[in-house]
Structure 1
Amino acid sequence: MTRIISSLSEIGQNYDAAFVDLWGCLHNGVTAFPDAVAALEAFRKQGGIVVLLTNAPRQRSEVAKQLVKFNVPDTCWDTITTSGDSARLAMFTGAVGEKVYFIGQPHDQPFFDPLKLVENPTPIQQVPLEEADGIVCCGPFDPLADPEVMRPDFLYAKQKNLPLLCANPDIVVDRGETREWCAGALAKLYTEMGGESLYFGKPHPPIYDLARRRLAEVKSGVQDRHILCIGDGVLTDVRGALGEDLDCLFITGGLAREETGTTDQPDPAKLDAYLQQEMVSADFAIGMLR
């Protein structure tokens, strides 16, 4: 049975570090959640380390810049791990070849900036789909358009056996009150059509391996049993924590607010039914991080 808590402070003393989701947990894609900021600041004051763990398809330096725009202060976090960092490492080591067809928006172009972690990186060239060895997907060309618009291109890509590198496994995200499609929706469609999709963000292991490395740079020796995962995505945050055998605080007032009957707090019966439906479990739950 998932324990519903009223604040992070109820359980924070049991953990040395937290892997914290961003969108829907710390901000809504427009501005920060003040209560979430305060909760993480308090966790850090008692000695906890906050690793922001996001499926953003960008470098951590770009995410840090975005946080400033969202009024998220650097007093509530220690380091950042992104799906983009993990996926870029794979791209520059040849996961999808040298010539890639890029799916994304202009602001995603820093994904192709040089990566210092890789010696002798694979030289990457963006080309039309007809010339590509593989696909790099940071998100839809239009985040409001039905992913099905990509079906013709994906039929062609599947026939050529092109692998698709998914830089953000999220299916949807809420920007304020508007729900947008993410790269994960396109990768899911491609997989369903018989194509090969490669994932590096939550809930998949590579991003957690990188998060532990980033945590160790701040504080070494933190054991997994003293790490708490916090997030609102049942398919990403909750399932990822389960896969890594880490404790999880499920933020029910984000993507699953309707399914869990969340107003201030989740409805216990609806929460349990939703988690059973998704075949996952969470150690703790709260309406919003506070």
Structure 2
Amino acid sequence: MSRIISSLAEISAGYDALFCDLWGCLHNGRQPYPAAVAALQAYRARGGIVCLMTNAPRPGPYVVAQLDLMGVPRDAWDLVVSSGDAAQDAMFAGAVGRKVWHIGTAKDDGFFTDIPEAHAGAEPVARVDLAEAEGIVASGPFDEVSETPEHYRERFLEARDRGLPMLCANPDIIVDMGETRIYCAGALAEFYESLGGRTLYFGKPHAPIYDRARQLMGLGPDARYLAVGDGIATDIAGAVAQGIDSIFVTGGLAADAFGADIETPDLEMLLHWLKVQEKAPTYAIGRLR
């Protein structure tokens, strides 16, 4: 049974490193949560390693720049690993061809223009119209504010009939931008699959992003990891698949399901909801603190 805790410090001494989600845990898309920042700073001060693990579809340096702009202090983390890193590597390796239809916004241009050193000599990947494409790269909707997956039905049916694979650079389904809920690339990929299309994923809950994080941290085989996140189907499912403990942040995406007090989830409501989700995080907390 999941245990509700009041702070990270209650249990953090048992872990060498954290895989900490960003959106909904460390910030709300516009500003950081001060208590979460302080919790990570305190954990690092005691010798723990903090890996910010995000399903953002941009390479790590772009995520770092966004965190700096938002005011997240660098002493709250050690490294950043993004879904964009792993997905970008697959794209330049040719996973969905060399001519791709990109679904996303201009803020994700770095996914294509910043070529990893390992692929510096590879054949270029060109962004083309759907009619010319060999595959699809989805980093999010064209219009995050107004579009839903249903807006893509006709184009996805065409892509499916042509057998185009989709590379999903962000497996998240939704995120909250301040008070506004928006769809992510994961929602597009899920919809494409429901229509019979083939998709490739590289962020949480899938193994490549965890493998990359462990490699960069360089800890030994006996290292003890803890995952922190508000996504039951990404953060928690990924932790379960990796065989590591987890903290489910209830005050994020599913906050409405656990009572009126975001900081203090109702245990009975939480356990019922987790039973329906068929997931069992090790711990739960209202907000990371």
For the aligned pair, the TM-score class normalised by the smaller chain equals: over 0.9
Aligned to 2:287: 288
Aligned to 1:75: 75
Aligned to 2:273: 274
- Give the match's secondary structure for 2:118: coil
Q: How does 1:153-172 map to 2 (within 5 A)?
A: 153-172=155-174
Matched to 2:286, the amino acid is G
Alignment size in residue pairs: 286
Matched to 1:61, the amino acid is P
Matched to 2:278, the amino acid is M
Matched to 2:144, the amino acid is P
Identity %: 51
Which sections of structure 1, spanning at least 5 residues, go unmatched? none
Q: In the alignment, is residue 223 of structure 1 matched against residue 204 of structure 2?
A: no
State the alpha-carbon separation in 2 of the partners of residues 214 and 278 from structure 1.
Answer: 32
Is the 1:57–1:84 contact (alpha carbons within 8 Å) kept by the matching residues of 2?
A: yes
Aligned to 1:32: 32
Is the 2:248–2:281 contact (alpha carbons within 8 Å) kept by the matching residues of 1?
A: yes
State the alpha-carbon separation in 1 of the partners of residues 274 and 70 from structure 2.
Answer: 31
TM-score computed with the length of structure 2 as normaliser: 0.97
Is the 2:262–2:287 contact (alpha carbons within 8 Å) kept by the matching residues of 1?
A: no
Give the superposition deviation at 1:221: 1.3
Give the superposition deviation at 1:120: 4.0
Aligned to 1:233: 231
- Give the match's secondary structure for 2:136: strand
Is the 1:16–1:222 contact (alpha carbons within 8 Å) kept by the matching residues of 2?
A: no
- Give the match's secondary structure for 1:25: coil
Aligned to 1:196: 198
State the alpha-carbon separation in 2 of the partners of residues 122 and 249 from structure 1.
Answer: 42
Give the superposition deviation at 1:118: 3.3
Q: How does 1:51-66 map to 2 (within 5 A)?
A: 51-66=51-66
Q: In the alignment, is residue 129 of structure 1 matched against residue 130 of structure 2?
A: yes
TM-score computed with the length of structure 1 as normaliser: 0.97
Write the deviation string for residues 158-215 of structure 1: whole angstroms up to 9, x where unpaired.
0100000000000000011110110001000000000001100000111111111122
Structure 1: 4+ residue segments shifted above 4 A? none
Aligned to 2:175: 173
Aligned to 1:42: 42
Q: Which moved more, 1:137-146 or 1:111-120?
A: 111-120
Which sections of structure 2, spanning at least 5 residues, go unmatched? none
Write the deviation string for residues 236-274 of structure 1: whole angstroms up to 9, x where unpaired.
000000001010001000001112225221110111111
